Amino acid sequence: MWQLARDTIGQDDLDALAEWLRTGPRLTQGELVRRFEQEWSAWLGVEESIMVGSGSVANFALVAVAAGRIRGRPPRVGVSAVTWSTNVSPSMLLGHEVVVFDVSPETLGVDEEQVVAALDEGRIDILFVTHLLGLDALTDGILQAVERNGVILLEDCCEAHGTRHGAAKVGTLGLGSTFSFYFGHHLSTIEGGMISTNDPEMADELRLMRAHGLARESSRFDSLSKANSGVDPRFLFVSPGLNFRPTELNAFLGSRQLAGLDERIAQRNANMARFMEEAPDWVWREYRLEGMSSFALPVIARDQEGTARVRETIGRLGIESRPVVAGNLLRQPFVQGHDVAPYRETTPVADHVHDHGIYVGNGHHVTVGMAETLAHALGGDTT
């Protein structure tokens, strides 16, 4: 069976992990987490990275810290209609106004024309872009509108390790970015996530939030201790926080996996490129593949007849599939009754993805030959 995903953690990783565990190492967050953060920052091209327990936690912490820079009212946060629930849940839980944009069929990311209009109208304080399925969701027009309007740009790169916009990797273009290291992603640490930024103040706030708000996590520990001399500095809480920490075990796996990440990305991209070359015209093929780091193979038919054909074909071939993430979030029950609304009255592209969107796995277990076979089967080849 062509599975949706196989854990990127291989037997060699497990053997190395078992050997390391036999040495009786520290398992709570420590030196290995710090080392992996530094390695990740160097690979991505940023100054600071903060490892946390999951990509979802990364989203919450990043949005919460960024929202603290908006004064006087709840921030207005722009998001994609087609994304994972935890791209929008943090803003819902924090009481933000959420503005939802339709998506582009070329990127499956936010529609450029809508976003630029909303930014120029002063409708958005924070734009949280999702690089869905490893496609580059940014455009030069969006980046220019963010810059001229002083809007905070955040990037959800949980499915986009290594995706590029021009010469830069996504995750380096805004105030901060998030990554997921869950099962089946480009890199897995069992559970885990990362927040990356070039802003030292944001990094400091994120480290405080990750560990209960304890001053000892801050680079300003000495000055904070002096300013709060009436509290024992060992348990000095200077900001709201929770426990979002990862473990040394997660970081041990992360460092090992990072060494082979570029090779895995190249394999994923080769699979995606061949599938798009060979797929029939009644399947969406107009994606902007430049800069991608493919997470999955989208199989989005242009009409209901095609969708039925996709389902029949992948079922016959024994291929596991999923919807294109959450479909149109505006049709999900969890957003009902909250301050979540579309920028425009309708979201036709997101609705099409919701009704016809299917993806199949594209990881280290998938080959170019498998992608080609699926494309040919969709085209009617039964051999």
DSSP per-residue string spanning 229-290 = TTS-GGG-B-S---B---BHHHHHHHHHHHTTHHHHHHHHHHHHHHHHHHS-TTB------T
CA separation for the pair 283, 33 (Å, rounded) = 43
Q: How many CB atoms lie within 10 A of CB 361?
A: 21
Are the CB atoms for 335 and 85 separated by under 8 Å? no
Length reported for the chain: 383
| Domain pair 11-258 / 261-378, same fold | no
pLDDT digits (tens, 9 = 90+) for 190-226: 999 999 999 999 999 999 999 999 999 999 999 999 9
Q: In the structure encoding, which two tokens stand for residue 110, read together?
A: 């936010």
Residue 86 pLDDT > 70? yes
The arithmetic mean of pLDDT across residues 220-233, rounded, is 97
Provide CATH code, domain 11-258: 3.40.640.10
Reply yes or no on whether the pLDDT at 364 is more than 90. Answer: no
Q: What is the pLDDT of residues 107-166, one digit of tens each?
A: 999 999 999 999 999 999 999 999 999 999 999 999 999 999 999 999 999 999 999 999
Average pLDDT in the 252-274 region? 97
Choice among 123-127, 357-361, 363-367 with the minimum mean pLDDT? 363-367
* Mean pLDDT of the region 329-342: 97
Decide if 335 contacts 350 (C-beta within 8 A): no
Answer whether residue 383 shows pLDDT above 70: no
List Cβ neighbours of 56 (8 Å cut-off, separation of 6 or more).
Answer: 86, 89, 180, 193
Say if residue 184's pLDDT is above 90: no
d(CA 73, CA 52): 28
pTM of this structure: 0.97
Q: Please determine, for residue 303, whether its predicted confidence score (pLDDT) is greater than 90.
A: yes
Report the CATH fold assignment for 261-378: Aspartate Aminotransferase, domain 1 (3.90.1150)
* Residue 16, helix vs strand vs coil: helix
255 exposed, middle or buried (CB, 10 Å; 0-12, 13-18, 19+)? middle
Provide the percentage of residues in the chain whose pLDDT is more than 70.
Answer: 99
User: What pLDDT, on a 0 to 100 scale, did the predictor assign at position 188?
Assistant: 96
Tokens 């062509």 belong to 2
Among 86-90, 104-108, 253-257, 377-381, which is the least confidently predicted range? Answer: 377-381
How many helices (H) and strands (E) in the chain? 13, 13
Task: List the chain domain ranges.
Answer: 11-258, 261-378
Beta strands in 28-93 (DSSP E): 48-52, 76-80
Whether 7 has a pLDDT exceeding 90, the answer reads no
Q: Look-up: residue for tokens 């990356």?
A: 196
d(CA 25, CA 38): 20
User: Residue 6's pLDDT is what?
Assistant: 86
